[in-house]
């Protein structure tokens, strides 16, 4: 089974590339983030023509997540149980389902904006709720993983220059501690360094030629429990999909399982 995660930065803008990538990559399950559409605008018909069912949690604007599967889509949970509101709204940042016997979550962790901002506090509360929500599945014997855009670089090696990010979100001790607490439920990073590149980043800003200069961050992660990690046969960041006109600012992260 091939499982991937990809922040598409607008599924409407990225639809031709998404459909082409699904066909060429042979992906069975895709966790999507930042759909930037309503559930009614989601391109379910186009995806169904390729053989994919879709579970969607989206209300428009800047957030939205989805799960695409051609190996089944069962026991869907929409939203983060016990998750905090932001400005009185439960943002669409999580969705879970069982696909071909593997339980997966697609998550889009809040950005945090800047240290001290209300959104930063919200980010930490959201991560705590995520930890509580997945703890039982993480400890289970069924393969389970939380995939998505975590908006956190786990270590200094996961950013192109730690000095550039000093004092900013994505790298603070509190965010990394929240990530470590999530792993402590029984999850591990199943896309280890090094891969096919010394610095396998997953996100590069559109500005200042960040992608050609490889000034990136590794913030799109796949955290799996022991049965999931034990089934991993290969993993990689598809940098090619970040190239060219109309690309997302994130690249897909792909994991192959023997299940």
Residue 26 and residue 209: Cα distance in Å, rounded? Answer: 30
For residue 249, say whether it is annotated as part of any ligand binding site. yes
For residue 225, say whether it is annotated as part of any ligand binding site. no
Q: Where are the alpha helices (DSSP H) in the chain?
A: 11-25, 44-49, 118-138, 173-183, 226-231
250 catalytically annotated: yes
For residue 170, say whether it is annotated as part of any ligand binding site. no
Residue 141 and residue 217: Cα distance in Å, rounded? Answer: 32
149 catalytically annotated: yes
Which 3-state string (H, E, C) describes 134-198? HHHHHCCCCCEEEEEECCCCCCHHHECCHHHHCCCCCCCHHHHHHHHHHHCCCCEECCCCCCCCC
What residues contact residue 141 under an 8 Å CB cut-off, 6+ apart? Answer: 227
**Candidates 52, 86, 108, 223; catalytic one:** 108
**Candidates 28, 137, 149, 158; catalytic one:** 149
Known binding positions for Mg(2+): 7, 34, 149, 151, 249-250
The residues that are catalytic are: 108, 149, 250
């Amino acid at each position: 089974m091939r499982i991937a995660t990809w922040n598409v930065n607008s599924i409407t803008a990225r639809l031709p590339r998404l459909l082409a990538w699904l066909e060429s990559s042979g992906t069975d399950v895709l966790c999507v983030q930042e759909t930037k559409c309503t559930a009614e605008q989601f391109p379910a018909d186009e995806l169904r023509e390729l053989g994919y069912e879709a579970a969607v949690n989206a209300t428009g604007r800047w957030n939205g997540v989805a799960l695409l599967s051609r190996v089944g889509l069962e026991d869907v949970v929409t939203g983060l149980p016990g998750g905090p509101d932001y400005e009185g709204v439960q943002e669409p940042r999580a969705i879970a389902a069982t696909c071909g016997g593997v339980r997966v979550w697609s998550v889009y962790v809040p950005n945090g904006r800047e240290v001290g901002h209300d959104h930063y506090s919200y980010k930490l509360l959201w991560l705590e709720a995520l930890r509580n929500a997945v703890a039982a599945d993480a400890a289970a014997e069924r393969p389970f993983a939380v995939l998505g855009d975590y908006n956190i670089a786990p270590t200094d090696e996961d950013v192109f220059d730690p000095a550039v990010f000093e004092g900013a979100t994505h790298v603070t001790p509190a965010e990394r501690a929240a990530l470590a607490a999530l792993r402590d439920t029984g999850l591990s990073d199943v896309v280890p360094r090094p891969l096919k590149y010394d610095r396998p980043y997953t996100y590069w800003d559109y500005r200042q030629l960040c992608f050609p200069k490889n000034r990136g961050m590794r913030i799109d992660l796949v955290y799996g429990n022991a049965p999931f990690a034990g089934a991993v046969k290969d993993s990689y960041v598809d940098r090619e999909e970040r190239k060219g006109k109309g690309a997302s600012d994130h690249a897909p992260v792909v994991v192959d399982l023997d299940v």
